[in-house]
Structure 1
Amino acid sequence: MIAFDLSDHAARRAMAALGGDDDGARERYATVVWCHLIEPGDSVAGRLVAARGATAALEAVLDGAAPAEVSPRELAEARKRWLPRLSARAIADSVASAAARGVALVTRADAEWPAQLDDLGAHAPLCLWVRGDVAALPRLEASVAIVGARAASRYGDHVATELAAELAGSGIAVISGGAYGIDGAAHRAALTVGGLTVALLAGGADRAYPAGHTQLIDDVARTGVVVSEVPCGSAPTKWRFLQRNRLIAALATVTIVVEAGWRSGSLNTAGHAAALARPLGAVPGPITAATSAGTHRLIREYGAHCITGADDVRELLGLSTAAGANATTGGFTDDATRVRDALSTRSRRDVVGIARRAGMSVDSVAAILGLLALEGAAECDADGWLLRRPDDRR
């Protein structure tokens, strides 16, 4: 038997920094302990905790007696993985870091728990570490994951921005992984239009990864939600990135892959969405572009829906496309007019020049340009943006 203090007193003391109900402190503390022992998606731990609860399951593991839910061999192998990580000091440091960074603990017992994660069964997370608007988690019933290549092309970045801006602007939450490329474009566009966006991290929620997105992740936390299933202080690893993808697919109602190479990690997210029977879409690109080889593969071999605009995504969500379009454009009438006035039908202009003429921020102009492009009112190439004449539109 392994000695570890799981008493009510120890639990309340350990969890005091995170607040919460003292009556449930022991179960919450046991959940935090589990979170430190296992890697994401550990099905042995998932089965034990689902059957017995976090405290009773942990006591059984510490006692060394094989519970009925797992075989003696499974338990023996699991204890070899888990017990070397059992450290009250490491757990205390992690909880202190969470409290210092304003990271909240959300478990299945909390009203804010997003029930769609339970579709992962034994592979579901035992808890979530959340920075930002915890109350937004239950509001993700109509949400879209926009994912894709880190080394995104200009085309991919443009499409991700368009989709995220229009969808977020019409009240649809945008979920992604906080990475460079498509993820970052989706988060920025959603923030620009004042929409809700959620970043799921492979490392702890207390620090941004990649470091170059520190400001972006902070901005997401300020108005949206930053989520991780691993404790604060945890480093992102290749395995955690792959397992993080299952959370993106499970949390979102629909998953859209904008750009992906033939063996892109975004295809891993798509695979999880398909396994969960979630609607899956992919954006087509040039047949010569390596960054679109993966999306073409999803469309051709895996039945992903071909996504050519936000209305296609709304259809997958079961929403009225007309209602969504009206909701999106209504709030941008004045700003769109200013951007139109700053464009030319004869000479192409870059976003910075358009923003200067319109007297608006570059980010705001970029989002509006994306909407105008979707309407066919503007077009872009390597030389910049051009306002299309009504006669030129199809």
Structure 2
Amino acid sequence: MTPHGEPGLLEAVLRATGSRDVDPVVACTRVAWSVVAEPGDAIAGGLIEGLGPAAAFEGVLGAVDDGIGGLLALCVERGVAGTDDPTGYGRALTKAVERWRPRLAHADVGAVLAAADAVGARLLLPDGPAWPRAVDDLGHHAPLVLWSRSSHGSVADWGDPPAVSVVGSRANTVAGSEAAADITSRTADAGCVVVSGGAYGIDATAHRVAIAAGATTVAVLAGGVDQLYPAGNVEMLRGVAQRGAVIAESPPGTRPSRWRFLARNRLIAALGDVTVVVEAGARSGALNTAHHAGQLGRTVFAVPGAFSSAASVGCHRLVAQGRAQLMVHPDEAAAAAVAHRGGEVALPSATPLLVHDDPDVLRVLDALGRRSLSVDELARRSGLSVADATDALALAQIQGLTQHGVGGWSRTAAR
């Protein structure tokens, strides 16, 4: 399970981290932990903090064979968080070992590192120079490792600028897309990183506008970084990796799942100095992100909508319950993020985003005929690169000018 005496594995982890200054045994053990424990597992986080990753892992292996007595005694001796009540902690530790047991025999660190290497993913470790310090605010719920796909290193490598997390409904309205585009555009103008979850709807709008504005953007995935999801956003996520980073805490090869989407929301909240909920239904996952942000002491904004809109019910409730500030102006998020870092920002007097005037958008709209076309065909017809055509189509979609279906891209019926 740990990499003692495995030179090939040691070389693989050094290659994944891009540094020979890391302790490869600690790195490999953290990777093993990320396979065994689900994201946000506080018992795993407490054990690692109190005993160190390698000793904690060895202790769990011993507990599987001999019971938790020895591990519990060591935890009490070291003052691991929660052991002031040894009986209660013992019960929690027993449950934890039982949920880790099925995966312990299959924690193949070499396979994980090979999967990461296949997509050019980088392994980020706590206390390493590339680690985004903001996630440390999660305490024992912080990620054990992070995996990053990026053309620019990591979040920390970009000079640690202020960040704004923009989240909202997957089934957004046109008004919601326009609001998200305006907020993201102002955020980009202020030099902030744009963080979101890579999903359909508001997330995709935020990422696409950030890419079009030349801003840094980060997408946090619910599965492994080799599992770009959803399928319809794969090209967009590749664009995010070009302009910023696609990151995940689950090891490569991990499939997205409902509980992992909820778990990754805490990372979106932690990475942003400010979280903006643009649209959210009564049961939207964006409300979960807002809850995490509030627990971390981050500023939360909610964008108002029509009182009759089901997509705005969650936003209105956040404000009514005092869990979010009402967003009055799209510049407020960037200003609050910069202020959180102790700075000031001169709010730009930007005009609303009018994609009709973008020359690339006009070219792809002219190239669209009556039938649906692929991005490749539109790029050929418009004389644009595939990447520029994709960005132009996304901006046109924000304004309701285009739509994407099974057969490709087409103009909306209303146009």
Distance 1:89 1:120 in 2: 25
Contact persistence 2:34–2:144 (CA under 8 A) = yes
Distance 2:348 2:241 in 1: 27
Match of 1:38 in 2: 37
Unpaired runs of 5+ residues, structure 2, are 64-69, 84-88, 369-382, 400-412
Among candidates 110, 130, 137, match of residue 112 of structure 1: 130
Kindly state the Cα deviation for residue 339 of structure 1 after the two structures are TM-superposed.
Answer: 2.4
Q: Measured at CA, do residues 191 and 57 of structure 1 come closer, stay the same or move farther in structure 2, by a change above 3 Å?
A: same
Aligned sequence identity (%): 38
Match of 2:112 in 1: 94
Distance 1:80 1:146 in 2: 37
Q: Measured at CA, do residues 299 and 140 of structure 1 come closer, stay the same or move farther in structure 2, by a change above 3 Å?
A: farther
Distance 1:157 1:44 in 2: 40
Match of 1:201 in 2: 221
Contact persistence 1:101–1:206 (CA under 8 A) = yes
Kindly state the Cα deviation for residue 118 of structure 1 after the two structures are TM-superposed.
Answer: 1.0
Contact persistence 2:335–2:345 (CA under 8 A) = no
Match of 1:136 in 2: 155
Q: Secondary structure at the match of 2:194?
A: strand
Match of 1:154 in 2: 174
Contact persistence 2:2–2:29 (CA under 8 A) = no
* CA deviation vs aligned residue, 1:295-319 (integer Å, no higher than 9, x gap): 1111111241111433221332245
Tell me the number of residue pairs that the alignment of Structure 1 and Structure 2 aligns: 360
Determine whether 1:325 maps to 2:348: yes
Contact persistence 1:169–1:194 (CA under 8 A) = no
Among candidates 106, 115, 124, match of residue 142 of structure 2: 124
Match of 2:27 in 1: 28
Kindly state the Cα deviation for residue 12 of structure 1 after the two structures are TM-superposed.
Answer: 1.4
Distance 2:319 2:253 in 1: 39
Kindly state the Cα deviation for residue 350 of structure 1 after the two structures are TM-superposed.
Answer: 12
Moved more, 121-130 or 54-63: 54-63
Match of 2:365 in 1: 352
Distance 1:113 1:337 in 2: 36
Distance 1:226 1:155 in 2: 27
Contact persistence 1:147–1:183 (CA under 8 A) = yes
Among candidates 185, 190, 199, match of residue 210 of structure 2: 190
Q: State the Cα RMSD in Å.
A: 3.5
Kindly state the Cα deviation for residue 336 of structure 1 after the two structures are TM-superposed.
Answer: 8.2
Match of 2:230 in 1: 210
Among candidates 274, 286, 296, match of residue 266 of structure 1: 286
Among candidates 70, 73, 77, match of residue 91 of structure 2: 73
Determine whether 1:53 maps to 2:72: no
Kindly state the Cα deviation for residue 44 of structure 1 after the two structures are TM-superposed.
Answer: 0.4
Distance 1:219 1:340 in 2: 19
Q: Secondary structure at the match of 1:204?
A: coil
Distance 2:281 2:292 in 1: 17
Q: Measured at CA, do residues 316 and 353 of structure 1 come closer, stay the same or move farther in structure 2, by a change above 3 Å?
A: farther
Contact persistence 1:146–1:160 (CA under 8 A) = yes
Kindly state the Cα deviation for residue 76 of structure 1 after the two structures are TM-superposed.
Answer: 2.1
Contact persistence 2:164–2:334 (CA under 8 A) = no
Q: Secondary structure at the match of 1:295?
A: helix
Match of 1:289 in 2: 309
Kindly state the Cα deviation for residue 55 of structure 1 after the two structures are TM-superposed.
Answer: 1.0
